Structure 1
Amino acid sequence: MNRFFDPDLFARAYRDPMAWLTLLVDLLPVIAVVFFGWKAVPLVALYWLENLVIGAFTVLRMLGTIAANLLNIPIALFMVPFFTVHYGMFCFGHGIFLSAFAGGDVGHAAPGVSGMQTLIDWALGTGPYMLWFVGAIILVNTLFYLVDFIGRGDFRNTQLPVEMFAPYGRIVTLHVAIILGAGLMLAFGQPLMGVLILIMLRVGFGMFLNMLRQRKIEGAGSKTLNAVAEAG
């Protein structure tokens, strides 16, 4: 994008019903805050669980490249387990940080499958109907996988190394959003304001990803940014 915000690109991106679907899912936490009494902790937990969903679909995309080129099999046999372990550990450390930030009692969790399960159980238990909101995230990612990756043939153009590193940026974005939201809560003494600002930051990030996706559809995006759009 030549400008920080391109109205024409935005308009083109949101002619696609898939973009509106992602906006709807990104705004669902507002319902949780207003009607189910969610505070910052379940919201942060939801975004952490979303990172796990993104990681799972990244694995599916990495495996899907085999359909386009059988020579990717040996590369995938190395990169998929490496990504699973490395990204899993990255998310584990991120989850420990978030639970400690939120006052959760999961500091005893050890790295590994059981430790990750402890964190997942903690995240799912932080707010009512959490599983339904996670289900909505899984649904929208499934649709994008079917429409873009398979339907539009993105699997033919996906490069395994680029795909593997794409999800990490969103975790950094979440960190920054949490710190900013927490700072605003402390500055104004309005917890609800901080929660809503965190949601709006996530919505803005989703809009940015939809604009990247539109550039990819139009053949104007870089391979790295295209992969980031897919991983969002």
Structure 2
Amino acid sequence: MSWSPRSVSSPFALAALVAANAVPLVGVVWFDWSLKALLVAYWLESGVVGLLNVPKILAASGSGDGGATITASINGQQVDLSPPEEPRDEFHVYASNVPIAGFFAMHYGIFWVVHGVFVWTFDAFAVGDVGGVPLLPVGIAAGATLLSHGGSFVVNFVGREEYRTISPGKQMSEPYRRVIVLHLTIILGAFLVASSGAPAAALVVMVVVKTVLDVAAHLREHARATQRAKKRERDETPPELDARDVST
């Protein structure tokens, strides 16, 4: 597979993602952010990712990508994860996708709360001082993340019509591919940084590694969307008529 960042994601969305990741870096270098402040900022980021995935699920109308084969049960009842029967060309919220979005919100919400419990009780497990959490600066970092992911939603998911090529079931699983690996890496890094006494240099390395992983995950996500769009275009393009088949 060969692709360039420009072909799979808007340059604006990519630049916004890098800028949002730079906010914690500024906090560490110039404002002495603690390890715990970073963990809280990244926990809030995972919440933003999950929150914005709800409207994505509600608007997803594609098929043929494996999403319709996923089964789920809510209160003992099976939830249909198949795409809308009559998808529209324009961005539209489908009532048939509401149970899928609800299941995701419940499941991802549990994951996020458990992650939060770990983050806010991190002092009990860490070696060394993890410090306090400056709420205003961390809130600014969360706001930058919201702008970044919200901008990507508008430019890529809506503007580039990614909603037309992914099923609601498949969209439900997208955040896990990105968030779980990323935040397991962050948690492992947090233990390593804490065990070293949380020096600023170690925090900087942690932020840089997280940024690289985040950018790579962003590009992979939209590369998959580009591949789905190309497949849809091929499937919808009628074959060329052979000149011998045309009667004159």
Taking structure 2 as the reference length, the TM-score comes to 0.67
Preserved contact between residue 212 and residue 221 of structure 1 (Cα < 8 Å): no
| CA-CA distance at 1:43 after TM superposition | 0.4
Q: Does 210-219 or 52-61 show the bigger shift?
A: 210-219
Change (3 A) 1:190 1:134: closer
Give the counterpart of 1:166 among 156, 170, 174.
Answer: 174
Q: How does 1:1-40 map to 2 (within 5 A)?
A: 9=4, 16-40=11-35
Give the counterpart of 2:58 among 54, 60, 63.
Answer: 63
| Partner residue, 1:126 | 133
Q: How many residues align?
A: 197
Look at both structures and tell me which one has the larger radius of gyration over its CA atoms: 2
Distance in 1 (alpha carbons) for counterparts of 2:159 and 2:228: 19
1:41 and 2:48 equivalent?
Answer: no
Q: How does 1:167-182 map to 2 (within 5 A)?
A: 167-169=175-177, 170-182=179-191
| Partner residue, 2:105 | 84
Distance in 2 (alpha carbons) for counterparts of 1:146 and 1:214: 13
Change (3 A) 1:222 1:202: farther
Distance in 1 (alpha carbons) for counterparts of 2:10 and 2:85: 36
Preserved contact between residue 53 and residue 138 of structure 1 (Cα < 8 Å): yes
* 1:83-115 CA-partner distances (Å, limit 9, x unpaired): 1111111111111112222349xxxxxxxxxxx
Distance in 2 (alpha carbons) for counterparts of 1:15 and 1:145: 11
Matched AA of 1:192: A
Structure that is richer in helix per residue: 1
| Partner residue, 2:91 | none
1:203 and 2:224 equivalent?
Answer: no
Any gaps of 5 or more consecutive residues in structure 2? 63-82, 88-93, 126-131, 232-248
Matched AA of 1:57: L
Preserved contact between residue 181 and residue 197 of structure 1 (Cα < 8 Å): no
Matched AA of 1:94: H
Any gaps of 5 or more consecutive residues in structure 1? 3-7, 105-124, 224-232
| Partner residue, 1:97 | 118
| CA-CA distance at 1:144 after TM superposition | 0.8
| CA-CA distance at 1:207 after TM superposition | 2.3
Distance in 2 (alpha carbons) for counterparts of 1:14 and 1:218: 9
| Partner residue, 2:46 | 51
Q: Percent identity?
A: 22
**What SS class does the counterpart of residue 24 from structure 2 fall into?**
helix
* 1:188-214 CA-partner distances (Å, limit 9, x unpaired): 545223311220121111221243256
State the Cα RMSD in Å: 3.2
Preserved contact between residue 42 and residue 126 of structure 1 (Cα < 8 Å): yes
Matched AA of 2:189: L
**What SS class does the counterpart of residue 227 from structure 2 fall into?**
coil
Taking structure 1 as the reference length, the TM-score comes to 0.72
* 1:120-148 CA-partner distances (Å, limit 9, x unpaired): xxxxx822422211111111111111111
